Structure 1
Amino acid sequence: MANFPTVQDGLFVGAWGDRPLDPLQLDIARFLVEKAKRHTRTTYQEVGEAIGWSHPTGRGLGKNLDVIVRYTLDNGFPPLTAILVERGEKYPPSNVIEQVAKDYAYRDIDEAQESVFAFDWSSVPELFAVVERVPAGREVWLTSFWGFDPGDWGCIGFADEPRRSRYLRLSRPGALVAIYVTKGRGPEEMRGKVVGVLEVSHQAGHAREFISGDRWAEKESDPEYRGKWLFAVRATRAWRIIPEDWKPVEELFPTTYRDSNPEFIGSYGVKVLEAEAHRLSQLQVYETPVYGQAGQIDGTLHELATALSPSRAVPPATGPYWVGETDGPKYLYILELKGDTAAYLGRPAGQVEGLTIIKVGFSRSPLSRRDQIQSAYPLGQFEWAVRYPESTIDPPPYRNAAVAIAGEDAMKKRLVEEGAEVLGGEFFLADDGLVIRTWYAGKFAADSANAAAGST
């Protein structure tokens, strides 16, 4: 009796479970199964084209085919690779025929091929192409970038046409591509972490069509990057994961990442398993512009699963930036504007000595609030920083917006009562001591409201 394979912790394993099929080998095996179901042979060239293999004749596939041979043998399946032949031939190469004769009891290679055609491959569901989905019905893929800036880089890129063709064949329009920043490059705080999500169309083109002019010029002026990733597929929407929810790729997608080496993920992209895709859908995100895409975006903070609904009409902004978020756990925060305060306000230095510009408020993600406000400023000497809380590693301490509002109101009250200058909205000019007292006044009020809400 065949020893049929099982799925253990997301790995596809058989009798020799210490050597699972990796994603590329699964692609090959699934392609061969599709041919077997149609009772047709296939060629090395066809396999190479189907999986996006770099060599046009399929040269170099041997090691992966050897793994599939051992897998089928050890699980009692017919010799799947027996239907893989050279172009124009009916039978596989002589070394494959010899291997089949050695390992199986067929009379000849014709009988071996017929056994592949006759076998009920539906009894091995793991060898069928599986579409993994998040609750909104989207496929999720994983790849790596050296950063995440869809406003200037509105696509995913591949090194050559076969790799792009593989992605287009295996994916569906509107698939989500989770982006992690490579561990050896990119901003230090992002390296190895999943930081954003792209919605990717099936519109293929040259990369320069989907990248801003200055970024394209920057890339092409660097000898290390010139001429790379030219085979592109356009992104249509994008979301940034709030920094508080950035997770190492091996933590968020442990099986998907473990089953593929990083070079394969970055070069080809891999599908994410359903359970791991669900983890992604629970992260807090906000939409961000994509280069070349017109129309307003919704900067509301909410779970990715909610963000995947069609774009809603967005109310017009009432200031230089606009952002909202759904109710739920919150942090209080105080942001501080770093830079020459006197120059920013257009006042003599002596009038503002020892004073700083701050913004008070509450959010699920103070770091995202900082980034969204900063995005309304041109690059220069002024930069917003999170003064409080000092850390967002722990979960938000306040159960909902109503509790957090009590803390925000207390901060504003303290600032006004102690003479801080109101600069409009939630912005104030205050000395360092008052900033500290304001923070603790807000915390005390929010902690008290939190306790009262918990006792009702």
Structure 2
Amino acid sequence: MTMDALQFEIARFLVAKAIEGRRTTYQQVGEAIGWSHPAGRGLGRNLEVILHYLADRRLPPLTTILVKKGHRYPADDAMAYIRSALGNIDIEAAQQEVFSFDWRAVPELMPDTSTLPTGREVWLTSFWGFDPAGWGCIGFADESKRSRYLRLSQPGALVAIYVTKAKGPENMRGKVVGILEISHDAGPAQAFISGDHWAEKERDPNSRGKWIHAVRATRAWRVVPEDWKPVEELFPTAYKSAHPEFIGANGVKATADEAASLLELDVYEVPVYGRTEPIDPTIQTLETALSPSRAVRASSKPYWVGETDGPKHLYILRLTGDIATYLGRAKGELEDKAIIKVGFSKSPFARRDQIQSAYPKGTYVWEVWRPSPQPEHAPYANADIAIAGEDAMKKRLIDEKAEVLGGEFFLADDWLVHSTWSAGKAAASKAQEEYDKQPKTNVG
């Protein structure tokens, strides 16, 4: 059996993971090849060709290391197909064969290393929060600690940030919330921190005079809140390797397994203080965010944020604060009304944070009004389904004469906000039911 260019691209990506001794997910494969459905829909026919191509050449079954996020082995339906093609194989033994095989002996399957985020070290340290737009560096208490980091690290290392368990926003404490790319550009911390952040640091007796020996950050990514994980879960070895105070003061290097887990998290790029390069706010895995890609295009829409396809939530955001003053109107005119934004996303909380970042700090704050509580897993399989729900929400708002404030922002009566959410869920659920009736290509 022969393979086409796309199938070779998939196989080479799997070989790259095999060489690293890593399993990979449908989402990572989908994002790497630009597949429209990273969750795996429609990928199966290509995996089938790859599986038979390998079997014909007596090569290890690469597709056995392709699993769902958070799993060690392929799903039951994928295993059923793999065994129908290869027999009743031992999946653990098959995966180990894939990892141990010398893929350099198969030149046509060797990956183009220039397109992979290889050579990246991952370190772990702690902050009291995560705000790279105002704090564009990692800081050390003295020159010897900074020298140690520079001696042991490489330029471009990734530093995972967890929020200390004693300080910082309560919902972030003890969780890995962001990643910094760190240069070897050393200097005084004040040169890499905004004036207001520096003044705030120096006013606080707990931070005054601390962390003044810094190394500049060059890029930053915020982990979507749905993927925030306790530091001891994501970095079990690194976190146990030293006392938390040592980790915060010096940083520790992560293992290869921990680095691989970090690459699977969904993130979006955020600005770094002092840097002027354009950022890509697309919600995607860290691995995809690190891979070389075409230049970032400026958006023609306010607050536009892209994201790879895959499971989605509908959402309604609501602006809290004195909305009458915000709109310059009489308070009585806006009684029982709300300013809302409707849409869909892999992460409603990330979308809220991205919109909020365009506002100066103050009393006006966006909140995720619906879904509440947010389900653990996104209920709609892809963007097409979610779009049906979003369109239904917009139609309900317009039909009921909600005031359009621009784009997806509306001023609506409270009762209409509830009705809008019901309309969106009903339309998306119907679209999901139709999708579920469609024949699916096996993704094994």
Q: Scaled by the length of structure 2, what TM-score is found?
A: 0.70
Q: Any idea what the Cα deviations from partners look like across 1:39-68, whole Å, max 9, x if unmatched?
A: xxxxxxxxxxxxxxxxxxxxxxxxxxxxxx
User: In the alignment, which residue of structure 2 is the partner of 1:118?
Assistant: none
- CA contact 1:244–1:393 (8 Å) conserved in 2: no
Distance 1:202 1:332, change over 3 A: same
Q: 1:204 is aligned with what amino acid?
A: A
2:295 aligned to 308, 313, 326, which one? Answer: 313
Tell me the number of residue pairs that the alignment of Structure 1 and Structure 2 aligns.
Answer: 323
Measured in 2, the distance between the counterparts of 1:235 and 1:179 equals: 12
User: In the alignment, which residue of structure 2 is the partner of 1:425?
Assistant: 407
- Residues 29-44 of structure 1 mapped to structure 2, 5 A cutoff: none
Q: SS at the partner of 2:361?
A: coil
User: In the alignment, which residue of structure 2 is the partner of 1:205?
Assistant: 187
Q: SS at the partner of 2:168?
A: coil
Flag structure 2 segments of 5+ consecutive residues without an equivalent.
1-115, 439-444
User: In the alignment, which residue of structure 1 is the partner of 2:258?
Assistant: 276
- Pair 1:373 & 2:355 matched: yes
Measured in 2, the distance between the counterparts of 1:447 and 1:215 equals: 45
- CA contact 2:222–2:270 (8 Å) conserved in 1: yes
- Residues 146-157 of structure 1 mapped to structure 2, 5 A cutoff: 146-157=128-139
**Superposed structure 1 runs of 4+ greater than 6 Å apart:** none
User: In the alignment, which residue of structure 1 is the partner of 2:271?
Assistant: 289
Q: 1:410 is aligned with what amino acid?
A: A
Q: SS at the partner of 2:171?
A: helix
- CA contact 1:203–1:233 (8 Å) conserved in 2: yes
Q: 1:317 is aligned with what amino acid?
A: S
- CA contact 1:145–1:179 (8 Å) conserved in 2: yes
Measured in 1, the distance between the counterparts of 2:147 and 2:276 equals: 27
Q: State, as a whole percentage, how many aligned pairs show the same letter.
A: 68
Measured in 2, the distance between the counterparts of 1:266 and 1:294 equals: 28
1:303 aligned to 258, 267, 285, which one? Answer: 285
Q: SS at the partner of 1:386?
A: strand
User: In the alignment, which residue of structure 2 is the partner of 1:88?
Assistant: none
Deviation at 1:199, TM superposition (A): 0.1
Deviation at 1:229, TM superposition (A): 1.1
User: In the alignment, which residue of structure 1 is the partner of 2:238?
Assistant: 256
Q: SS at the partner of 1:190?
A: coil
Q: SS at the partner of 2:278?
A: coil
Q: 2:382 is aligned with what amino acid?
A: N
Q: 1:140 is aligned with what amino acid?
A: V
Deviation at 1:392, TM superposition (A): 2.9
- CA contact 1:420–1:430 (8 Å) conserved in 2: yes
Q: 1:397 is aligned with what amino acid?
A: P
Measured in 1, the distance between the counterparts of 2:366 and 2:326 equals: 13
Measured in 1, the distance between the counterparts of 2:214 and 2:292 equals: 24
User: In the alignment, which residue of structure 2 is the partner of 1:158?
Assistant: 140
Distance 1:342 1:173, change over 3 A: same
- Residues 83-232 of structure 1 mapped to structure 2, 5 A cutoff: 136-232=118-214
User: In the alignment, which residue of structure 2 is the partner of 1:55?
Assistant: none
Distance 1:348 1:407, change over 3 A: same
- Residues 439-450 of structure 1 mapped to structure 2, 5 A cutoff: 439-450=421-432
Q: Any idea what the Cα deviations from partners look like across 1:73-108, whole Å, max 9, x if unmatched?
A: xxxxxxxxxxxxxxxxxxxxxxxxxxxxxxxxxxxx
- CA contact 1:407–1:441 (8 Å) conserved in 2: yes
- CA contact 1:335–1:388 (8 Å) conserved in 2: yes
Measured in 1, the distance between the counterparts of 2:352 and 2:389 equals: 19
Deviation at 1:310, TM superposition (A): 4.2
Give the RMSD, CA atoms, in angstroms.
1.6
